[in-house]
């Protein structure tokens, strides 16, 4: 097993008084793919969004516990959330490119970090698009609107956009749930490529997708972490009855 | 009474109401066009009034209205946009301050325009202008009297709610996912507003501006005490000059003129110019707003 990248200790989250995550503790290894599965409303997306403090944007959320990334507690008072989010990129369920050109979408992150030299931006844009395996499809229309691309292409543009700020960790919130099977396969292939350089955490509804793409799988249910283990063990020989029931489709 | 009869009566009432409204708008247009069109020509638009304002054109009133609305927009739009950004992006739904601001904006929108005029007279001329004269001109009267700057600023206050409401509506149509995408890339809140939210709200800002301009171009009461002049032989050269305005020109031509009958063609033609101006500005605003709403869906 690789080094631990993310260490979560006793994390609880409330929406108002409603307890949405209950004392989650888990270790997420570096440069591997960790999948979160579970029925709708089980807390897996909410948990994912605690890892880049995206829940901070919602009124009424209270969080207890600690999340260490590279041994630094990201909920410490002195943490700069802006820097945290540069290090922890996020891909959303619905692809959300900006209403700008492909080039400007990718250059957005570098630009807000103060990079304005055209040659440097060109290089970042090309490298990021290549990493996201979409360079060949868009290299002739870099200055067309990103919204003119297909859904699957838009999602890979979003991945490239997030790679352009050099994150260590990429959070993916059901990145392929709105895509057709071919686009989904491309995204999964890409996840496989990216894990050589990045720690990837993916939330998915699709258990086959978790089985295909991930090294580790964690099952959430009603705000609890039910079980977490190597993916092949979760899918062949889970320790808990609840896990077995869920992956065999008996509930959820 | 039979239910069907009631139904028919009510349907008839709705029909009459609709017809009445159409009748009113058609009458206004017809009377103005019939009375004004024959007198509308290039000379009328490009010349100063002549012969005790019974002849000649309305050029200074057109220029005055244009300059006043431009200064008004320069003041009202940035202020309105910043307020709208605060309401849409910074204030939480439950915040007391946001509720107070919303209440203030709504109240401002229903304050009678003559009250704005009196406020402008008291605040801009009586207070700010007088004090400026005291500090800058050694008490010599320059800013402490009606001028185009105070009139424009008074008008800006009147149109501020229009700008705030339009811009806030446009900002709220930017999907949350767009903001999250930007924040997740490590953008600060301000970077997100500047690079994602505002560029996406440009048409809303434009709509607000145009609605404000079309409202301001037609109003008379706020400028009555604050800067509009009966007749000027020159165009305004500085912000401390008075100006002529289309709406005010119509008012004085129909009430203060030495020979009301002789000026009737001028009144009609001036009214037609003002109507055409405000209608076309509104048409542009409505089109823009329609596009925003379509995009939001």
Q: In what order do the strands lie in the sheet with A18-29?
A: A18-29, A4-15, A61-69, A72-73
Distance of CA A112 to the CA centre of its chain: 21
- Closest approach of A53 to chain B, Cα-based (Å): 9
Least CB-CB distance to B181: which of A86, A96, A113? A96
Domain ranges of chain B: 40-296
Does B191 contact A at CB distance below 8 Å? yes
Q: For B185-213, write each residue's pLDDT tens digit.
A: 999 999 999 999 999 888 888 888 888 88
Domain ranges of chain A: 4-247
**Cα A167 to Cα A197: distance, rounded to the nearest angstrom:** 10
Distance of CA A125 to the CA centre of its chain: 21
Say whether A162 and B185 touch across the interface (CB within 8 A).
yes
Please name the residues in contact with B152: beta carbons below 8 A apart, sequence gap of 6 or more: B67, B68, B69, B71, B72, B75, B227
A:B CB pairs within 8 Å: 62
Q: For A140-152, write each residue's pLDDT tens digit.
A: 999 999 999 999 9
The answer to whether residues B217 and B274 touch, using CB atoms and an 8 Å cutoff, is yes
- Name the residue among A68, A197, A83 with its Cα closest to residue B185: A83
All residue ranges of chain B with pLDDT < 50 are none
pLDDT of residue B296: 59
- Give the CA radius of gyration of chain A: 18
The CATH class, in words, for A4-247 is: alpha beta
Does B92 contact A at CB distance below 8 Å? yes
Instruction: For residue B92, list chain A residues with Cβ-Cβ distance below 8 A.
Output: 59
pLDDT of residue B213: 86
Instruction: For residue A83, list chain B residues with Cβ-Cβ distance below 8 A.
Output: 186
Instruction: Give the A-side interface with B, CB within 8 Å.
Output: 52, 54, 57, 59, 82-83, 85-86, 89-90, 92, 94, 96-99, 108-109, 112-113, 158, 161-162, 165
Does B122 contact A at CB distance below 8 Å? no
pLDDT of residue B295: 67
The ipTM value here is: 0.91
Fold entry, domain B40-296: MetI-like fold (1.10.3720)
The answer to whether residues B296 and B172 touch, using CB atoms and an 8 Å cutoff, is no
Instruction: For residue B186, list chain A residues with Cβ-Cβ distance below 8 A.
Output: 82-83, 85-86, 109, 112-113, 165
Say whether A108 and B177 touch across the interface (CB within 8 A).
no
Distance of CA A146 to the CA centre of its chain: 21
Q: Is the dihedral of CA B129, B130, B131, B135 positive or negative?
A: positive
Least CB-CB distance to B184: which of A90, A97, A98? A90
Residues in chain A: 252
All residue ranges of chain A with pLDDT < 50 are none
pLDDT of residue A252: 53
Structure tokens, A190: 């890409």
Measured CA distances, B90 to B95, B197, B255 (Å): 10, 13, 49
Residue A84's SS3 state is helix
Q: Across B103-146, where does the E strand assignment appear?
A: none
**Cα B297 to Cα B287: distance, rounded to the nearest angstrom:** 16
Please name the residue of chain B whose CA is at the shortest distance from the CA of residue A105: B182
């Amino acid at each position: 097993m690789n080094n631990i990248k993310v260490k979560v200790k006793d994390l609880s989250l409330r929406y108002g008084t409603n307890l949405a995550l209950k004392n989650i503790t888990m270790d997420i290894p570096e440069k591997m793919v960790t999948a979160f599965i579970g029925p709708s409303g089980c807390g897996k997306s909410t948990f994912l969004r605690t890892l880049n403090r995206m829940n901070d944007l919602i009124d009424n959320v209270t969080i207890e516990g600690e999340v260490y990334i590279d041994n630094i507690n990201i909920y410490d008072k002195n943490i700069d959330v802006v820097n945290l989010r540069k290090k922890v990129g996020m891909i959303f369920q619905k692809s959300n490119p900006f209403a700008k050109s492909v080039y400007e979408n990718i250059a957005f992150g570098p630009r807000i970090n103060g990079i304005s030299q055209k040659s440097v931006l060109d290089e970042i844009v090309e490298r990021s698009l290549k990493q996201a395996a979409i360079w060949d499809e868009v290299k002739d229309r870099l200055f067309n609107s990103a919204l003119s691309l297909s859904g699957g292409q838009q999602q890979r543009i979003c991945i490239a956009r997030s790679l352009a700020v050099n994150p260590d960790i990429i959070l993916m919130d059901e990145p392929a749930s709105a895509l057709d099977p071919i686009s989904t396969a491309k995204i999964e292939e890409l996840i496989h490529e990216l894990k050589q350089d990045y720690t990837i955490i993916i939330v998915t509804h699709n258990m086959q997708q978790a089985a295909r793409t991930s090294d580790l799988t964690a099952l959430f249910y009603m705000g609890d972490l039910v079980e977490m283990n190597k993916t092949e063990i979760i899918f062949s020989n889970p320790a808990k009855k609840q896990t077995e029931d869920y992956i065999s489709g008996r509930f959820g | 009474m039979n239910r069907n009869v009631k139904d028919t009566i009510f349907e008839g009432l709705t029909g009459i109401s609709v017809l009445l409204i159409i009748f009113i708008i058609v009458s206004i247009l017809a009377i103005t066009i019939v009375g004004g069109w024959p007198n509308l020509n290039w000379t009328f638009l490009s010349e100063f009034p002549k012969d005790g304002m019974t002849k000649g054109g309305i050029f200074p009133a057109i220029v005055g209205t244009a300059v006043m609305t431009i200064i008004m927009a320069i003041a009202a739009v940035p202020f309105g946009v910043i307020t709208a950004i605060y309401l849409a992006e910074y204030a939480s739904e439950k915040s007391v301050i946001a509720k107070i601001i919303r209440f203030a904006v709504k109240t401002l929108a229903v304050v009678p325009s003559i009250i704005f005029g009196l406020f402008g007279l008291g605040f801009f001329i009586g207070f700010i202008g007088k004090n400026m004269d005291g500090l800058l001109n050694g008490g010599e009267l320059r800013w402490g009297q009606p001028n185009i700057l105070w009139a424009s600023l008074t008008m800006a206050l009147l149109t501020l709610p229009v700008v705030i409401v339009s811009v806030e509506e446009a900002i709220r149509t930017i999907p949350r996912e767009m903001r999250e995408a930007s924040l997740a890339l490590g953008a600060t809140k301000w970077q997100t507003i500047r690079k994602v939210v505002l560029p996406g709200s440009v048409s809303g800002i434009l709509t607000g501006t145009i609605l404000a301009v079309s409202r301001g171009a037609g109003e008379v009461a706020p400028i009555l005490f604050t800067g509009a002049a009966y007749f000027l032989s020159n165009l305004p050269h500085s912000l401390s000059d008075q100006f002529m305005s289309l709406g005010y020109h119509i008012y004085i031509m129909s009430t203060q003129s030495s020979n009301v009958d002789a000026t009737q063609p001028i009144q009609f033609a001036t009214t037609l110019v003002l109507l055409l101006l405000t209608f076309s500005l509104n048409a542009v605003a409505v089109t823009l707003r329609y596009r925003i709403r379509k995009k939001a869906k």
